[in-house]
Amino acid sequence: MSAVKSVSSFRLASLLRCENDPSAAIKLFRNPDPEPTNPKKPFDYSLLCYDLIITKLGKSKMFDELDQVLLQLKTDTRIAPMEIIFCNVINFYGRGSLPSRALLLFDEMLQYRCEPTLKSVNSLLSALIKCGAFDKTREVLSSIE
């Protein structure tokens, strides 16, 4: 009888990369190790795992699931996400005509342990323009002057 190997974050990233169905990918992300060797220890997700699932969900416009993953990322204090992840999510919100969510995520970036720079400001402005939220674009521009 062979021992069951637990899934590592490296293996999960590989599985997520290969999964084309975003619904199956989120199920895999939520339950990466169906038979954990230590059920009391939570799974240690890597930044790559978060990036892969966020990108899959954003491209498929599964925004409710994306928000759940972002909330999980916010509470995972081991990881300090890079700004490009937030720029991508803000762009996904722009393509999905969700300017309020884009603004909210930009405002909450510090809670994710990420300092916003001009790169994320530009992503936000681009998303707001795509949505036709010109009044909000003016507000953002006036707040950075």
**DSSP character string of 69-138:** HHHHHHH-TT----HHHHHHHHHHHHHTT-HHHHHHHHHHGGGGT----HHHHHHHHHHHHHHT-HHHHH
Q: Do 5 and 75 belong to one domain?
A: yes
Residue 145 is predicted with a pLDDT of 65
Q: Do 4 and 59 belong to one domain?
A: yes
Q: What is the pTM of this model?
A: 0.89
Enclosing domain of residue 53: 1-79
Q: Do 2 and 31 belong to one domain?
A: yes
* Percentage of the chain exceeding pLDDT 70: 93
Nearest to 110 by CA among 144, 62, 74: 74
- The count of domains in the chain is 2
Q: Do 88 and 61 belong to one domain?
A: no
Residue 1 is predicted with a pLDDT of 40
2 pLDDT more than 60: no
Q: Do 60 and 131 belong to one domain?
A: no
* Separation of first and last alpha carbons in the chain: 67
Q: Do 119 and 68 belong to one domain?
A: no
Residue type, 41: K
Residue 43 is predicted with a pLDDT of 87
Q: What's the whole-number average pLDDT of the chain?
A: 91
Q: What pLDDT, in 10s, does the model give residues 7-28?
A: 889 999 999 999 999 999 999 9
Q: Do 87 and 122 belong to one domain?
A: yes
Better-scored residue on pLDDT, 134 or 86: 86
Q: What pLDDT, in 10s, does the model give residues 108-133?
A: 999 999 999 999 999 999 999 999 99
Q: Do 88 and 142 belong to one domain?
A: yes
